[in-house]
Each structure stands twice: as structure tokens, then as C-alpha cells.
Amino acid sequence: MHGHTFSDIVKRSSTSRAKSGLLTGSKGANIDRAFPIPAGISRLWCIPVKNSVSLGIALTTAAYMAFTFHDAIVKVLTSAIPVWQILFFRSLTILIGCLAYGRGKLVHHAVTSPIIKPMIARSILLLCAWLSYYTAARHLQLAEVTTLYYAAPVVGTVLAWFILREEVTPARWLAVGVGFVGVLIACNPVGLTISWSVYLALQAAVLWASAMVLLRKTSLHEKTIVQLAVSNVFFLIMTGIAVIYTWQTPTLTQLGLLIGTGVVAGCAQFALFEGMRQAPVSVLAPFEYTSLVWAFILGYMIWADIPTYNVVVGAIMILGAGLIIIVSERLRHRATA
């Protein structure tokens, strides 16, 4: 099983679905048994797929809200603690939480997962995206790097249409476009010129979008807790190497914030992974823009940053993009009911 490519596995899974379909769980949820479960794993680890678009939207919105809180904590910590060390503690906290929940069964399932390679590939994409973003942020203004990075939902929608063969309706394209225009208005990146930093910011957007598309593929065939464990083992190893050379002994307050970063990031990652299992990428992509709205709210609550007129207008457009998706998907559901 481990010798097959991800495409082969998905193709085999699709063929099995066509022949046998989905089984129904005890609570009415669909259970995808077409994807092979390694021997020795109990039925507890079978994967319920409810395909609830509304739940996917709610989880994704909650995830990006939590990520914004995470970024606010990181902003406080980076004045004294290296980024590598913050990411190390974050991954360590998440991994401890996963192991406390799943224990030996989780370890066995993660090691024997038939899609371990795609999950590692996704982790590499995410790490490269973060490195590109943080490097670009050193040389660009916040408005500039934010605007460039928020090309990710647009790229993600295109990749979902091209790679996943998702049906991207006009309403979904409209929502992505309206949301991106809202970001442009809110951030107002006037005078942006082409440079290496601009390239890195755009590269971060493409890498993040690619990782989200791959997350959608893997999330349909593996439990979220397993994906969390695999991703954070990889991040722990990579950041641990850097921490050896950049270690700064934290105070008790900083240690509490470092652990808090892991708790918040763990909740955010869980919600994002689960959200991707419930709804298509092209539906969820515009809701990534909502993190900008949360950032403005937190900036006002914590640092007393007063939003300007263009920020308010942009935020309204971003919220409008989400409403376009919600209304259009409800209409589609009623039409097919």
C-alpha cells in the first residue's frame, strides 16, 4: 500500500465508491470505507464525511479567527523570542495534545497511514509558505504583504477547479473577486513595486493555496487527528534544528504565551482540517479573507488601532463576499432538494 502514489489510491477509492457507495454510520453520517484502513485499527478510526457546507463554512471561519488570535500572540512574543522557537513550542504543544488524546493507537495509525507521503508533502508546502511569508514581511509594509498574500484564495479557487475538478459557480468566482477587492481597499498598497520580496509574498500565497488543495484531498481519506500529528511531527523536527542555534530562555510569562500559542493554533488547525473535509475549496476560499476583519478588531481591542474609512469599507466588502457564498449555497441546496 505504501508503494502506491496518491493518485493511484484516490483512483482505487473512486472505483470502489462507484461499485459499493458509502455506508451509513450509527448517527446517520456517511462513512467512507472505500479508502483502506490498515489492519489492527478499530472501527473507531473510520472516517465520517457529512458533506455539510454550512458546517464547513462555520469551522473555517472559526479557524481563521483563531489563527488571527494566534498571530496576535506571536506578535507579542517575537519582540523577545525567535520565530523558530515559537513555532517549535507551538508544534510541541499540539503534538502532546494529539498524543494525549489518541495515544498508541494514533501513533500506529499515523505510521501505517496509506497517505503519509501526501501529508508530508503538504507539510513541506506549508513550511515553505511560512518561510516565504516571514521573509517577505521583513522588507514590505504590512498592507503590501497582506494584500499579496491574500491572492491565495484566488489561486486556491483556480487550483480547485483545475486539479480537484470542482464546479466553481459564478457566485463563487464573484465572492472571491469581491473579497479580494475588499482586501485591496482595506490595505491600500499604494506605490507597490516589483521586487524579490513581492515575489516571495506571491510565492507564499501560491504555496499556501496548493497546500489547502492537497489538504482537501487528504482530509477526505484520513482523520483530522492523524493529519495534525503527522504535520506537527514534521514541523517539530524542522524547527527543532533551528532552535538549537537560536534558543532564548523564556520567562514564565513567555512560556505561558508559548503554550497558549500551541493551544490556539491546535484548535485553529483542527477546525481548518475539519472544515476542508466538509466543503469544497472554492466554497471556503473567500472566508480566508475574514481573518483580515478579525485582525482589525483585535488591533483595535489590544493596541487601540483605529480603523480608517477604507478599512471599514474593505471589511464590509469582505463580509459581503461571505454572504454571497452563504446565500448562493443555500439556494443551490434548495434547488437540488
Task: Note the pLDDT of residue 17.
Answer: 36
The grid cell for 294 is: 478579525
Q: Looking at the domain assignment, is residue 154 inside a domain?
A: yes
Task: Note the pLDDT of residue 323.
Answer: 83
Task: Note the pLDDT of residue 326.
Answer: 77
Q: Which contiguous run of DSSP H or E holds residue 30?
A: strand 30-31
Task: Note the pLDDT of residue 229.
Answer: 92
How many C-beta atoms surround the C-beta of residue 257 within 10 A? 18
3-state secondary structure (DSSP) of residue 24: strand
Task: Note the pLDDT of residue 71.
Answer: 81
Which of the pair, 6 or 296, is modelled with greater confidence?
296
Least confident segment among 17-31, 159-173, 267-281, 290-304 = 17-31
Which of the pair, 24 or 80, is modelled with greater confidence?
80
Average pLDDT, integer, range 52-60: 87
**pLDDT over 70 (residue 62):** yes
CA–CA dist 316, 302 (Å, integer): 21
Strands of 30-31's sheet in order across: 23-24, 30-31, 48-49
Q: Looking at the domain assignment, is residue 277 inside a domain?
A: yes
Task: Note the pLDDT of residue 142.
Answer: 63
Q: Cβ distance 205 to 155 under 8 Å?
A: yes
Q: How confident is the model at residue 192 (pLDDT cuts 50, 70, 90)?
A: low
Q: Looking at the domain assignment, is residue 234 inside a domain?
A: yes
Task: Note the pLDDT of residue 131.
Answer: 83
- How far, CA to CA in Å, does 302 sit from each of 299, 306, 308? 5, 11, 17
Task: Note the pLDDT of residue 125.
Answer: 92
> Mind listing the pLDDT tens digit for each residue in 90-131?
999 999 999 999 888 899 888 888 888 888 999 899 889 888
Which distant-in-sequence residues (6+ apart) come within 8 Å of 62 by Cβ?
271
Q: Cβ distance 86 to 243 under 8 Å?
A: no
Q: Cβ distance 125 to 295 under 8 Å?
A: no
**pLDDT over 70 (residue 47):** no
> Mind listing the pLDDT tens digit for each residue in 4-36?
443 443 343 344 333 333 333 433 333 333 334
Domain of 103, in residue numbers: 6-336
The grid cell for 231 is: 504535520
Q: How confident is the model at residue 313 (pLDDT cuts 50, 70, 90)?
A: confident
Q: Looking at the domain assignment, is residue 57 inside a domain?
A: yes
Average pLDDT, integer, range 291-320: 79
Q: pTM for this one?
A: 0.71
Q: Looking at the domain assignment, is residue 94 inside a domain?
A: yes
The grid cell for 35 is: 479508502
Which amino acid is residue 288, in one-letter code? E
> Mind listing the pLDDT tens digit for each residue in 135-186?
887 777 666 777 777 788 888 888 888 887 888 888 888 988 888 888 888 7
Which distant-in-sequence residues (6+ apart) come within 8 Å of 162 by Cβ?
none
Complete DSSP assignment for 44-90: GG--EE---HHHHHHHHHHHHHHHHHHHHHHHHHTTTS-HHHHHHHH
Task: Note the pLDDT of residue 191.
Answer: 65
Q: Which contiguous run of DSSP H or E holds residue 232?
A: helix 224-246
3-state helix, strand, coil in the chain (%, to 5): 75, 0, 20
3-state secondary structure (DSSP) of residue 23: strand
Q: Looking at the domain assignment, is residue 1 inside a domain?
A: no
The tally of domains found in the chain comes to 1
